[in-house]
Structure 1
């Protein structure tokens, strides 16, 4: 028995690791394709991009792990069935259920590890990932002086380079517009050629210009026109220095991202839900207290704290002598009613936003449990499915696993959206995919244990020939 368990475990570990790495690689490539424009040409150090890719990989575990479990179990039991090893195991008097014991233990360990990862490590990875991605996308391009384009990369200057040399440092046809405090272009430099280089530490960009001329306009001695005097300077060599501090990656404080639900663990999500729900209840009680004095007869729940402290106030008897006093009283009442209505609408809007935030927090709360549960459910589908189809490798198992995973992903996405919209309860919406797939896994397990040829085309052909076509031929008149 121990040798059989060891055989199954060895058959599972290798495809699991290989499929997990492949899926993570594919998801990482999708990430790079999505944000390639934000990463290329900004002069990032290699370790910054590597750090971002590492955090992005951590956030993809929630999708890669269930798919890897499904695919690897189909490949494992499919390969065992294809090589007639399952037949030998059953011939030795060992049922498929007993042969699945080591796999059940391994998948259970993976599920517990997935829960621990989603509760402790994933919030930290999300915080690091989204904060670094935000800083990367806000970073300016490192292509400071593109050819044939007026560049505004440096504040207070507009620079155009007609052509660059092959080394990327030689410049030809340089034009530099310098702006004053009033954002006026009162100074311009023309140079036939030049060279650019960076100072040590990338603090400044230096343009060493040759054979040029500078035009500068300034205010005269009389009057307020800032373009009464123009000066022209010719030079053979001149250096212009530009600050590069704005082009370095500046990190944003991570505390500004901690309020997102993806960066919270279970305890933080529970505390947020309880605090926000208390705010909603307090707002409702305050709304009752505000409206109660203006209503003569109203009904409150008996359990409400407001109902104990509210005394019905009879409608005031207005004794007005003139039409003007009547109009004034009605106008004041209408104005006060509009004021109360405005306050109530504000409370309703605030409560609706808080309720929406609670639903979003409950989505993240349930995700930490569904990640563990879906690994077990997909194993219940993959193991019997592999034993039934009896095909190993990356052919048919990939097609079948991707089909089932797409079913799970589509159903879970629809359920998550329904929860966020408030159409279904958080538990039903987040667990609907697992509720639907669990009977399928149990059905496939039953078929695998009873050696049912559920994917055998010949069995279906025989069924139609015997049950349908024969009956049709019997009923055909002679």
Structure 2
């Protein structure tokens, strides 16, 4: 029995590893297609691109594991059925659950490892990935001078060339605008007939060797007043400019700026942050409600008259007019009440916007908390879909199993994405919203397992063909039978 279990595990781990690598590669290519425009033309070193792809692959691991489990389960059990290895096992008195026992234990172990990775390794990978992606997408384009196009990627300079000899590297009609002293209203323009460019030995500077050119330097007016501006004009046969390229280098952002993001937290940290944000939001709501109630508290009608009575100088006629209601005073009171209503409406609008922003932030942490558990549980659900389905279809390889795996994974992914959007908008709670996709597939897995355990010809083409032939024959016989008068 141990040899049988070992054989089953070996037959399962091979397809699992292969399908996991394939799925991870596909998800990584999806990331590359999404950000290819942000990566092109940046002059990134290969080590940076490799790190970015590695961290992107690590971020896709929790989603790749369930699909790999589903596909490898169909391939393993389907291959055993296709090679007629399940028949002698069943003939020896082994039930489907006994045959699937080692694979079930392996699937449970994979689900546990998936949860460990999502809770411990994934936050660190997401931190590295998001910080590096931010730096790459905000990096300036690499130095690329094209004829007729102004290049302003170098801080303080704008360069344009009319032509470039690809063989010798000679530049023709070089025009350079120097903006380094623009805040002082100084303008410097350099124009040369020819030029060459090269990098310094340390690569931090671009050296432009110019020939037969002019320098135009328009300086600010003396005293900072409007008037004539001094213009200096010079001519040179050969000149050399050193341009600082440090602005084109990849500048790394401090990772501490990203560490509080919901993607970079463990399960315990997510729960703690969510509780803290909920408590602060509730305290803020109570303060806002108290402020609103205080502003709406009614004023006694005789308060104005009583306030005037307490003053040092009392005008009895004014007090009488206030008591009976002076028209001018009523107009002022009406205007004051209208202003108070508008202020309260504006306060309510700001309060509702602030509450919605806080709710959306809290929901993000709640979604991520449930996602870590849901994707791990999905590994078990997909196994109990794939293993019995493979035993029923009895087809191995990457053909039919891949089709069934894609169908079920698309159902899972579409439902997961739709319900997650509903959770973000507040139409569904994270529980059970984030679990609906697995709850939909769970009875399907139970039904397929029961069908495979009872040797039901659910997906047997021959059984369906025989049933269709019987149905056609019954309809044909009924049509030929004469009706009894």
When normalised by structure 2's length, the TM-score is 0.88
Cα contact 2:155–2:247 (8 A) shared by 1: no
Q: Identify the residue that residue 233 of structure 1 maps to in structure 2.
A: 235
Quick check: 1:329 aligned with 2:330?
no
Per-residue CA deviation, residues 122-170 of structure 1 (Å, 9 max, x unaligned), is: 1111111111101001111113422331212223322112233335743
Between stretches 261-270 and 161-170, larger displacement belongs to 161-170
Q: Identify the residue that residue 247 of structure 1 maps to in structure 2.
A: 248
Q: Distance in 1 between matches of 2:162 and 2:293?
A: 75
Q: Identify the residue that residue 161 of structure 2 maps to in structure 1.
A: 161
Q: Identify the residue that residue 123 of structure 1 maps to in structure 2.
A: 123
Cα contact 1:412–1:432 (8 A) shared by 2: yes
Q: Identify the residue that residue 405 of structure 2 maps to in structure 1.
A: 401
Q: Distance in 2 between matches of 1:467 and 1:93?
A: 34
Q: Distance in 1 between matches of 2:217 and 2:294?
A: 74
Per-residue CA deviation, residues 247-288 of structure 1 (Å, 9 max, x unaligned), is: 111111222223321122212211222122212322332244
Cα contact 2:211–2:236 (8 A) shared by 1: no
Deviation at 1:344, TM superposition (A): 3.4
**Cα 1:226/1:132, change in 2 over 3 Å:** farther
Q: Identify the residue that residue 259 of structure 2 maps to in structure 1.
A: 258
Q: Distance in 2 between matches of 1:284 and 1:187?
A: 58
Q: Identify the residue that residue 474 of structure 1 maps to in structure 2.
A: 478
Q: Identify the residue that residue 304 of structure 1 maps to in structure 2.
A: none
Per-residue CA deviation, residues 207-237 of structure 1 (Å, 9 max, x unaligned), is: 01123333444579999545554524131x2
Q: Identify the residue that residue 420 of structure 1 maps to in structure 2.
A: 424
- Contiguous gaps of at least 5 residues in structure 2: 304-322
Cα contact 1:220–1:229 (8 A) shared by 2: no
Q: Identify the residue that residue 70 of structure 1 maps to in structure 2.
A: 70
Q: Identify the residue that residue 303 of structure 1 maps to in structure 2.
A: none
Deviation at 1:177, TM superposition (A): 2.7
Cα contact 2:73–2:387 (8 A) shared by 1: yes
SS in structure 1 at match of 2:434: helix
Deviation at 1:373, TM superposition (A): 0.4
How many residues of Structure 1 are paired with residues of Structure 2 in the alignment? 461
**Cα 1:225/1:337, change in 2 over 3 Å:** closer
Quick check: 1:386 aligned with 2:390?
yes
Cα contact 1:283–1:347 (8 A) shared by 2: no
Q: For the aligned residues, what is the CA RMSD?
A: 2.5
When normalised by structure 1's length, the TM-score is 0.90
Cα contact 1:16–1:68 (8 A) shared by 2: yes
Cα contact 2:143–2:153 (8 A) shared by 1: no
Cα contact 1:169–1:197 (8 A) shared by 2: no
Q: Distance in 2 between matches of 1:439 and 1:342?
A: 50
Between stretches 406-415 and 151-160, larger displacement belongs to 151-160
Quick check: 1:340 aligned with 2:344?
yes
SS in structure 2 at match of 1:100: helix
Q: Identify the residue that residue 309 of structure 1 maps to in structure 2.
A: none
Cα contact 1:148–1:162 (8 A) shared by 2: yes
Q: Distance in 2 between matches of 1:63 and 1:57?
A: 10
Deviation at 1:345, TM superposition (A): 3.2
Q: Distance in 1 between matches of 2:379 and 2:125?
A: 21
Q: Identify the residue that residue 143 of structure 1 maps to in structure 2.
A: 143
- Contiguous gaps of at least 5 residues in structure 1: 297-312
Q: Distance in 2 between matches of 1:244 and 1:295?
A: 62
* Matching residue within 464, 474, 479 for 1:460: 464
SS in structure 1 at match of 2:143: coil
Q: Identify the residue that residue 86 of structure 1 maps to in structure 2.
A: 86
Q: Distance in 2 between matches of 1:220 and 1:11?
A: 84
Q: Distance in 1 between matches of 2:219 and 2:289?
A: 69
Q: Distance in 2 between matches of 1:288 and 1:31?
A: 45
Q: Distance in 1 between matches of 2:289 and 2:210?
A: 75
**Cα 1:151/1:294, change in 2 over 3 Å:** closer
Quick check: 1:364 aligned with 2:365?
no
Cα contact 2:185–2:219 (8 A) shared by 1: no
Between stretches 457-466 and 387-396, larger displacement belongs to 457-466
**Cα 1:227/1:18, change in 2 over 3 Å:** same
Q: Identify the residue that residue 272 of structure 1 maps to in structure 2.
A: 273
Q: Identify the residue that residue 2 of structure 1 maps to in structure 2.
A: 2
